[in-house]
């Protein structure tokens, strides 16, 4: 094979595409009920936008971005959606509170494996201008509602609070002291960024699990952050939403404040996180806007599909296949197909002037539900022969009697 798709990308063929469409449609309806409206932002932005918002010492920025230069500018394919949403919120002067949703391709140059792609699809939501923990709880509820609607059971919610920058200064001091004692056991990346970004060690895939007795961020929350976290836990409980507090959960992006969470689904193996998000109350200001509290999440659609199980089942074929015999019938068949298609029916016909038997075989192969047979005899009588392709039953109808599938 001469040409192959780039590593970590996928071709999405009709059955899977239809499944994704159904996933999207369910999400659209649920998101609308919570007031989220879809936006689209460019799939590439200036590199600087991502460096500033996601953080210089994150894995995403350090090693996972697809970047390219054009003229004097360096761009990157978007690795996530929050940065672009914040940029659009400010540039388009959206008024707060604003609730937006997005669905589209994202790009990270990670090592591909099951559930980890270099081009993947995220569904995300962002809300600008609401500070209350009630919003955090509501956004979590939305995600859980989506998982339920998509038929994914057994999703676990992991929860943590990483407080505000002041809390983290105090925490960082103690954490650093703790990590220094273990420095010789840490991986290369963590050792290198120990001073700049010690908390990354906590969610490092290698070191994180070995640091269970590290100081906990939630013990360092100031009064306001502590109240926010307590309020959120209470609000979740009131909604009947179970969660597991995960002190090591920091998420791979630097913009979060206070609430961070992740959704973990069974059957995903190493890439068990189907979605994640949190609050980022300082990012809008950091990007040059007014102080605007904000919160959101994103869900990986390919992982949703894996969690739902293999795509399968019956993929429906055309409503009708029009078989025509002879040139007169053929001209009429083309007109009939056009009429039926104008009514929204899926109609196929033979393009090759094949014999009726071959046309019927094609109808069968395409999975047509019914065949309409037009021959000289039917033409003379002004009727159509209708064949049910599943039962083989045949009968005659007038053209105007075909109104639906
Ligand atoms: P994230 O945790 O980096 O968060 O990504 C969210 C979800 O995208 C993951 O849970 C996963 O399902 C999916 N995902 C990420 N990388 C890949 C990949 N390489 N292959 C397949 N799926 C992947 C964010 O991106 C934040 N912007 C979420 C957010 C929105 N926080 C606040 N607002």
The percent of residues above 70 in pLDDT, for the chain, comes to 99
For ligand 1, say whether the CB of 272 is within 6 Å of any of its atoms: no
pLDDT at 193 over 90: no
Distance (angstroms) between ligand 1 centre and the Cα of 375 equals 57
Give the CA angle between residues 351, 355, 357 to the nearest 5°: 110
Atom 16 of ligand 1, nearest CA residue? 116
Distance (angstroms) between ligand 1 centre and the Cα of 81 equals 9
Task: Give the chain's mean pLDDT.
Answer: 94
pLDDT digits (tens, 9 = 90+) for 346-394: 999 998 888 999 999 999 999 999 999 999 888 889 999 999 999 999 9
pLDDT digits (tens, 9 = 90+) for 330-351: 999 999 999 999 999 999 999 8
Atom 2 of ligand 1, nearest CA residue? 276
Q: Please tell me the distance from the alpha carbon of residue 274 to that of residue 306, in angstroms, as a whole number.
A: 10
For ligand 1, say whether the CB of 255 is within 6 Å of any of its atoms: no
The percent of residues above 90 in pLDDT, for the chain, comes to 80
For ligand 1, say whether the CB of 203 is within 6 Å of any of its atoms: no
- Model pLDDT, residue 313: 58
Q: Please tell me the distance from the alpha carbon of residue 249 to that of residue 286, in angstroms, as a whole number.
A: 23
For ligand 1, say whether the CB of 298 is within 6 Å of any of its atoms: yes
pTM of the model: 0.92
Atom 30 of ligand 1, nearest CA residue? 297
Q: Please tell me the distance from the alpha carbon of residue 6 to that of residue 12, in angstroms, as a whole number.
A: 14
pLDDT digits (tens, 9 = 90+) for 44-95: 999 999 999 999 988 899 999 999 999 999 999 999 999 999 999 999 999 9
End-to-end alpha carbon distance in the chain: 41
Distance (angstroms) between ligand 1 centre and the Cα of 274 equals 8
Q: Please tell me the distance from the alpha carbon of residue 370 to that of residue 364, in angstroms, as a whole number.
A: 9
The strand order across the sheet containing 119-128 reads: 37-38, 98-107, 119-128, 294-300, 273-279, 259-265, 155-161, 244-245
């Amino acid at each position: 094979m001469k040409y192959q798709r780039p590593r970590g990308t996928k071709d999405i063929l009709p059955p899977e595409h239809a499944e994704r469409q159904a996933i999207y449609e369910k999400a659209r309806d649920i998101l609308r009920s919570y007031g989220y409206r879809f936006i689209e932002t460019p799939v590439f932005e200036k590199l600087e936008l991502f460096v500033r918002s996601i953080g210089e010492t994150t894995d995403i920025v350090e090693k996972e971005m697809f970047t390219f230069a054009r003229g004097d500018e360096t761009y990157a394919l978007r690795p996530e959606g929050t940065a672009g949403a914040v940029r659009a919120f400010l540039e388009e002067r959206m008024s707060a509170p604003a609730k937006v949703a997005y669905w589209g391709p994202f790009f990270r140059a990670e090592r591909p494996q099951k559930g980890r792609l270099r081009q993947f699809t995220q569904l995300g939501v962002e809300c600008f201008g609401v500070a209350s923990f009630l919003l955090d709880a509501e956004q979590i509820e939305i995600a859980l509602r989506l998982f339920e609607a998509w038929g994914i059971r057994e999703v676990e919610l992991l929860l943590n609070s990483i407080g505000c920058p002041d809390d983290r200064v105090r925490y960082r001091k103690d954490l650093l002291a703790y990590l220094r004692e273990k420095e010789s056991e840490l991986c290369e990346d963590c050792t290198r960024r120990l001073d700049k970004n010690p908390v990354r060690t906590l969610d490092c895939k290698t070191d994180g699990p070995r640091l269970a007795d590290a100081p906990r961020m939630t013990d360092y929350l100031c009064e306001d952050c502590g109240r926010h976290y307590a309020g959120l836990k209470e609000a979740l409980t009131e909604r009947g939403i179970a969660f597991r507090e995960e002190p090591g959960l920091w998420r791979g992006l630097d913009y979060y404040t206070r609430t961070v969470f992740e959704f973990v689904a069974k059957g995903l193996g190493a890439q068990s996180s189907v979605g994640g998000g949190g609050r980022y109350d300082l990012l809008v200001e950091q990007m040059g806007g007014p102080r605007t509290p904000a919160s959101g999440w994103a869900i990986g659609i390919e992982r949703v599909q894996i969690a739902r199980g293999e795509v399968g089942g019956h993929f429906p074929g055309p409503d009708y296949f029009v078989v025509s015999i002879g040139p007169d019938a053929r001209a009429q068949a083309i007109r009939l197909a056009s009429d039926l298609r104008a009514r929204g029916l899926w109609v196929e016909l033979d393009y090759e002037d094949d014999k009726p038997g071959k046309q019927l075989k094609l109808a069968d192969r395409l999975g047509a539900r019914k065949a309409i047979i037009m021959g000289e005899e039917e033409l003379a009588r002004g009727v159509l022969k209708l064949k049910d392709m599943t039962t083989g039953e045949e009968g005659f109808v007038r053209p105007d009697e075909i109104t639906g599938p």
